[in-house]
Amino acid sequence: MNKQPWSDIDKQKLIELVNENTLNMRIDWKQISMKIGNRTTLQCKLQYRNVLNKQRQKINYKWTAEEEIQLQLQGFMFGTKWNFIQQNYYPQLRPEQLQMKYHQINLRRLIYEEITSNPDKYKILNQNQIQALKYALERIDIIRQKLQRLNQNTPDLLSFDPLELQFYKMNMTDEYIQQMYKNEAFIKQLLNQQPNIHIMNLQTFDNIKQSK
């Protein structure tokens, strides 16, 4: 048994091995111990759970709306390969954090789609529905800006992630965009009709962007 303190290199290797050897939220500690070579299964487990994981959980990561859109695209393109997504896009977070965030985003999307698909059913909204629609407005505004950059072929086009470019070119049809803007107008009208909202100026997105 190696009783020496964990070096920074060993700690980083342990984190990478945990990411590589996690399937369906289960970590293969025996495999990790074999790959590290000089630590027991128990040592690896205790170091990760009691030291490294607690440090990583302290990260209070605040997602921007644009980052949430990116995560949704990554989930759409890569499916449930959360270890791959974490390693390539979010090294400061854990795969399970990404999975939970993705589910949260999808829940908002489902609420948004349900309301916009059945507009006559929804007159008075609860707080979850209100927040989902506020988020939808912010998301539509970000997509609008990105589409303008794509259509104008602006110099910063190279800043787009290749995955994002592929998604926009494949999925943003004229029909989809027209429906999106139609939904936007409906959402603004519906939110302005809510008695339990302090009325916002929905002509701009300034207030919406500050309230998530």
Per-residue pLDDT tens over the stretch 29-85: 999 999 888 899 989 888 877 766 655 554 457 888 888 888 888 888 888 888 888
What is the DSSP annotation of 55-91?
A: HHHT------HHHHHHHHHHHHHHTT-HHHHHHHH-T
CB 70 within 8 A of CB 143: no
Q: Which pLDDT band, with edges at 50, 70 and 90, does 148 fall under? A: confident
Q: What is the pTM of this model?
A: 0.59
pLDDT of residue 126: 87
Name the more confident of 161 and 211.
Answer: 161
pLDDT of residue 10: 80
**Positive or negative torsion for Cα 15, 21, 24, 28:** negative
Contacts 24+ apart (CB under 8 A), 24-30: 25/96
Name the more confident of 137 and 6.
Answer: 137
Residue 205: closest CA among 122, 125, 136: 136
Average pLDDT along the chain: 79
SS3 state at 153: coil
**Positive or negative torsion for Cα 167, 169, 173, 176:** positive
Residue 136: closest CA among 185, 174, 200: 185
Percentage of the chain beyond pLDDT 70 is: 80
SS3 state at 22: strand
Tell me: pLDDT of 144 over 80: yes
Q: Which pLDDT band, with edges at 50, 70 and 90, does 180 fall under? A: very high
Query: How many degrees, rounded to 5, is the angle at CA 75 between CA 91 and CA 142?
Result: 90
Residues 8 and 195: their CA atoms lie apart, in Å, by 55
Residue 74: closest CA among 90, 93, 92, 56: 90
